[in-house]
């Protein structure tokens, strides 16, 4: 049975979620929701539609004649950036929805424009829905330190490594299987990872070392985070260009390319080449996200067949965060939550927020997670049979504690595109790390006209 008692008790006490007195209305309230048309994640909208059932049961239990119906508009945009711009255009002509789905990095722009409700008090007053949310995920929802969205799902971007290749170069089982723990403790650094990978390649266990995405995206941001980089000022919300920290990250990429750890043409490779190299035991490390396990690592894809078996998989493959930049430092990974956002100007904002609360519960979120290969938003989901059965999600969930996030800033997409050019420049040898920093400073100045704050060093 889907839970209704907590909200019902609240309503029976004469209090709605925002403190107003409950009233009885013989009416059907239509809550309009905007969700990008996405066949790979239909329950982002579907769970909100389904959440109307327990909400209506709670309203009935509270003595209200009001019922809620959800109408979904599916935007045709190809990606979340384009979809966010379409939502902003709709708000500009007073056609904005009551509730919408967005990539978390757009929360700042929506909040600044007055289209994202401050949900800080709402979350605190409703522990039945939100107390079990994995704490770090709230960082992806904040604007000026306050919650303005609710996590809808999460993910982990990590380094996958081939354990068999470590065995081939003589590493014992304690090292092979203990590497994640050493990374977690800060005992194994980014430099150690590069040197280990070079050893794997030099001794012939792999043709290639570390492979990463060939185009701009968020994955490599966790590498810079491991070297201490932050891209936004917490107090002002201004974008930052931390020169010392970014240089350390670029030096890592440059060393790898110069020493045969990463191919100099990695950014010219296709996704199929990169993923196929890892699947066919040609590459030691693949850097992207946990969903890759369900999409192509197990089963017959990318040039090889791997059993769909947990024990077999973890005997062959391990996962680590981006190790700390220095001994004793903090490792990092990256998550990119999709979020629910409520329109504060909507006359149905309270009901929209209540729908989000129900859709956040494990029953609903787990249905989305296991059908889309996304990690949980709640600690308790790991104990749910369906989630535990998705063994790679259950195994990856503890890694969320080390998550970092794309800044909630509308200009970071352009910033990241420039950063990727610098990364590409050092990997191909066209730029030294020092030249890449000069390039970044010049390009950021031209592109953002002083709105990016340049700092020599963060700490």
pLDDT at residue 98 in the model: 98
pLDDT at residue 459 in the model: 74
At the fourth CATH level, the homologous superfamily of domain 5-154+336-389 is Periplasmic binding protein-like II (3.40.190.10)
pLDDT at residue 180 in the model: 98
pLDDT at residue 247 in the model: 98
Q: Tally Cβ neighbours within 10 Å of residue 54.
A: 24
Rounded to whole angstroms, the Cα distance separating 349 from 86 reads 20
Q: For the chain, what percent of residues have pLDDT higher than 70?
A: 94
233 touches 227 (CB < 8 A): no
For CA atoms 246, 402, 310, 46, the dihedral sign is negative
Average pLDDT, the chain: 93
Q: Tally Cβ neighbours within 10 Å of residue 359.
A: 28
Using pLDDT thresholds of 50, 70 and 90, give the confidence band for residue 187.
very high
pLDDT at residue 1 in the model: 33
Virtual CA dihedral for 301, 307, 309, 310, nearest 10 degrees? -70
Across 183-196, average pLDDT: 98
pLDDT tens for residues 128-171?
999 999 999 999 999 888 999 999 999 999 999 999 999 999 99
* Second-level CATH architecture of 157-334+409-455: 3-Layer(aba) Sandwich (3.40)
Q: 89, 90, 92, 147: which is closest to 118 by C-alpha? A: 147
pLDDT tens for residues 293-320?
999 999 999 999 999 999 999 999 999 9
Q: Tally Cβ neighbours within 10 Å of residue 146.
A: 13
Residue 19 has pLDDT above 70, yes or no: no
Rounded to whole angstroms, the Cα distance separating 27 from 347 reads 14
Using pLDDT thresholds of 50, 70 and 90, give the confidence band for residue 16.
very low
Alpha-helix residue ranges (DSSP H) falling in 215-341: 221-226, 243-258, 271-279, 291-292, 310-316
Question: What are the structure tokens assigned to 36, written together?
Answer: 């990008």
Rounded to whole angstroms, the Cα distance separating 231 from 225 reads 9
pLDDT at residue 38 in the model: 85
Identical fold, 5-154+336-389 and 157-334+409-455: yes
Spell out where 80-143 has E strands.
99-103, 142-143
Q: Where are the domains of the chain?
A: 5-154+336-389, 157-334+409-455
- pTM for this predicted structure: 0.90
pLDDT tens for residues 231-265?
998 788 889 999 999 999 999 999 999 999 999 99
């Amino acid at each position: 049975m889907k839970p209704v008692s907590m909200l019902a008790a609240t309503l029976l006490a004469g209090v709605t979620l925002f403190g107003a007195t409950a009233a009885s209305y013989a009416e059907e309230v239509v809550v309009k929701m905007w969700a990008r048309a996405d066949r790979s994640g239909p329950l982002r909208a579907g769970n909100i539609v389904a959440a109307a059932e327990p909400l209506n049961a709670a309203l009935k239990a509270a003595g209200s004649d009001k019922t809620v119906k959800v109408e979904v508009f599916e935007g045709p945009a190809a990606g979340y950036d384009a979809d966010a711009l379409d939502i902003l255009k709709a708000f500009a002509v007073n056609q904005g929805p009551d509730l919408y789905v967005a990539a978390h990095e757009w929360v700042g722009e929506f909040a600044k424009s007055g289209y994202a409700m401050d949900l800080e008090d709402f979350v605190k007053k409703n522990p039945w829905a939100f107390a079990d949310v994995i704490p770090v995920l709230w960082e992806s929802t904040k604007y000026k330190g306050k919650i303005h969205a609710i996590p809808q799902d999460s993910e982990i971007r990590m380094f996958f490594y081939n354990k068999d290749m470590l065995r081939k170069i003589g590493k014992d089982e304690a090292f092979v299987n203990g590497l994640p723990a050493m990374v977690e403790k800060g005992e194994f650094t980014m430099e150690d990872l590069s040197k280990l990978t070079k050893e794997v390649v030099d001794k012939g266990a792999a043709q290639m070392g570390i492979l990463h995405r060939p185009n701009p995206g968020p994955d490599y941001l966790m590498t810079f985070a491991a070297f201490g980089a932050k891209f936004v000022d917490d107090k002002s919300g201004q974008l930052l260009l931390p020169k010392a920290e970014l240089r350390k990250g670029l030096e890592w990429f440059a060393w790898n390319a110069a020493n045969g750890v990463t191919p100099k043409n990695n950014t010219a490779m296709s996704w199929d080449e990169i993923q196929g190299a890892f699947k066919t035991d040609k590459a030691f490390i693949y850097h992207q996200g946990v969903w890759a396990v369900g999409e192509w690592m197990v089963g017959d894809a990318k040039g090889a067949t791997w059993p769909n078996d947990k024990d077999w998989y973890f005997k062959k493959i391990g996962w680590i965060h981006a190790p700390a930049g220095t001994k004793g430092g903090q490792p990092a990974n990256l998550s990119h939550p999709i979020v629910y956002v409520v329109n504060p100007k909507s006359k149905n904002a309270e009901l929209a927020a209540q729908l989000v609360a129900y859709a956040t519960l494990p029953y609903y979120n787990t249905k989305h997670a296991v059908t889309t290969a996304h990690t949980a938003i709640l600690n308790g989901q790991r104990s749910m049979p369906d989630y535990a059965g998705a063994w790679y999600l259950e195994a990856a969930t503890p890694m969320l504690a080390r998550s970092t996030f794309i800044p909630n800033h509308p200009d970071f997409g352009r910033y990241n595109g420039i950063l990727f050019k610098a990364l590409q420049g050092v990997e191909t040898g066209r730029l030294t790390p020092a030249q890449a920093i000069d390039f970044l400073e010049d390009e950021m100045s031209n592109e953002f006209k002083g709105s990016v704050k340049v700092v020599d060093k963060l700490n």
